[in-house]
Amino acid sequence: MANRSYDHLCGLAHSLDLVGSRWSLLLVRELLTGPKRYRDLVQRLPGLGSNLLSTRLKHLRTHGLIALERLPPPASTHAYVITEKGRTLEPIVVALAQWGCANLERHTDNKVFVPGAAILAIQANFNAEAFVGIEEAYEFHIGANVFHMRVTQVALTPRLGSAYAPDCTVHLDPDTFQRILTGRVTAANAVRQGLLQVHGPIDVRHRCLSLLNFVPLRQGRRVPMVDLTRNARLFPA
């Protein structure tokens, strides 16, 4: 339907039958950070046509990976949300993001900044071992895009929008983020150059900025285990 089936008796082939067609995993990427309306998805996925978005949404919906929910009374509209089944794709999405980031640096020209990708990059770069015992929330402003990362004992949880009580807040623009992501400048140097503003207690600032140390993969690094048992929060505050 969305894609021709491989018709192989193969878990990998079946995965690709479900989410292997163009834009599917990027759509999942967007919904992993929270519910979104149709037009939000169009805006956040530059290059994806409205018609194809419709097709993909239907396909993912029929396979139970996403759902269309009605928003509470005040806002009488719908939003697409990832289901629990769909959220089981998160480790795979993170792993692919980590893998792709490794050689992204050589191919960054002509590429457009998308906030969902920034969130995913930070998530893929997260080193859980360095945050043992830490429970904090960091709020990021990249251009006009606001999101936050909440670190708990079990996981790093990214969310769109402001944090309730962020322990640290960071401001930078998309171009600076790109230069940090691709290793052309460190977060610390960006601060010195006034490209990045960070607010909060000194030790918290340090931990927060460490999320932006996109070091090449080192021995012992692992993709963070995400708690898949939690209920998908349908709507952020």
Partner DNA sequence: CGGCATCCATTTTGATACTG
Partner DNA sequence: CAGTATCAAAATGGATGCCG
Which residues in 170-209 contact its own copies (CB under 8 A)?
Answer: 178, 181
Distance CA 185, CA 46 (A): 26
Residue type, 158: P
In the complex, the smallest distance separating the C-beta of residue 125 from its own copies, rounded to whole angstroms, is 9
Write the interaction track for DNA spanning residues 21-60; mark x where CB under 7 A is met and - where it is not: xxx-------------xxxx------xxxxxxxxx-xx--
Contact (Cβ atoms closer than 8 angstroms) between residue 201 and residue 167: yes
State yes or no: residue 101 binds its own copies (CB under 8 A).
yes
How far CA 176 is from CA of 39, 49, 103, 212, in Å, comes to 27, 29, 19, 11
Identified binder of its own copies from the candidate list 42, 71, 96, 146, rule CB under 8 A: 96
Distance CA 159, CA 110 (A): 27
Identified binder of DNA from the candidate list 2, 160, 187, 190, rule CB under 7 A: 2
* 221, two tokens: 């690094």
Identified binder of its own copies from the candidate list 110, 144, 165, 202, rule CB under 8 A: 110
For the segment 67-86, give every residue that binds DNA (CB under 7 A). 68, 77-79
Distance CA 63, CA 43 (A): 24
State yes or no: residue 189 binds DNA (CB under 7 A).
no
Give Cβ neighbours of residue 52 (< 8 Å, ≥ 6 apart). Answer: 22, 23
Between 78 and 206, whose beta carbon lies closer to DNA? 78
State yes or no: residue 218 binds its own copies (CB under 8 A).
yes
| Residue ranges that bind DNA, judged by CB under 7 A | 1-4, 21-23, 37-40, 47-55, 57-58, 68, 77-79
